Amino acid sequence: MQLQDILYSQGFGTRRICAGLIQQGLVSIAESTPTDAALDVDPQGLRFRVQGVEWEYHAPAYLMLHKPAGTECSQKPSTYPSIYTLLSAPLRQRPQKGAVQGVQAVGRLDQDTTGLLLLTDDGKFIHRLNSPRHHVPKVYEVTTRHPIDETQVRRLLQGVVLDDDPQPVRAAACEAVQPHHLRLTLTEGKYHQVKRMLSAVGNRVEGLHRSRIGSLELPADLLPGQWRWLTPTQVDALRGSGEGAAGAK
């Protein structure tokens, strides 16, 4: 694969821009600084530096982000900063089908919700994890205004009716960790679902944090606003989540 095509695929600009970076000696591989933009390079496992910043080749890209409060999961936010501003520029500029689209969030979290968010430029992966048909579990840590009682837990497990859907919505798992701390597992995603489910049982969400998707738990050392690449093992495990697979949403 030509070096300029590698840089282009990773979001470092148009092919002309990428060729210019190489020709100006701003791209290095190991201890060498090639200036031939058409140099044939094996991209698998490749690590390189662009203007002194180290980068690793990923095709496609899979990453996790610890979403902080006060951010929107939108490319064009209305009120709060976009979560995409937390990512490195190449991730926002990765080309897809000839257009600059960058990585996309796998589902959304409300602006005041924190926790685990996945991003990728793999459309099939996004569909696999978002589709209610696959029942990928997601775990939410819910802080409630009123103490949780057994009746509320039972109703959430049995199913509650939301105002826009006559079919009951059920929690896959529900545990009162502390009087005001509920651990809720869902396998589908509806608009403001957790907040509406708690409202339906006579309570109110004061804080919401997603701690797990499928088998992937938010790492304790990944601080709000930080992101990291998913490992191939983590990607494979996420693809296998749901449909009776072990793990929590």
**Positions marked active-site:** 110
186 Cβ partners below 8 Å, 6+ apart? 137, 138, 140, 171, 172, 193, 194, 249
Q: Is 78 helix (H, G, I), strand (E, B) or coil?
A: coil
Q: How far is residue 88's CA from residue 161's CA, in Å, rounded to a whole number?
A: 41
97 Cβ partners below 8 Å, 6+ apart? none
Task: Extract the tokens encoding 242.
Answer: 């749901």
Q: Is 228 helix (H, G, I), strand (E, B) or coil?
A: strand
Beta carbons of 92 and 13 less than 8 angstroms apart: no
Query: Which residues in the chain belong to E strands, given as ranges?
Result: 27-28, 47-50, 53-56, 62-67, 95-96, 99-100, 104-105, 114-120, 138-144, 160-162, 165-169, 173-178, 181-186, 205-213, 216-217, 227-229
Q: Which amino acid is at 27?
A: V
Q: How far is residue 43's CA from residue 120's CA, in Å, rounded to a whole number?
A: 19
Angle at 74 between CA 69 and CA 76, to 5 degrees: 120
| 214 CB neighbour count, 10 Å cutoff | 24
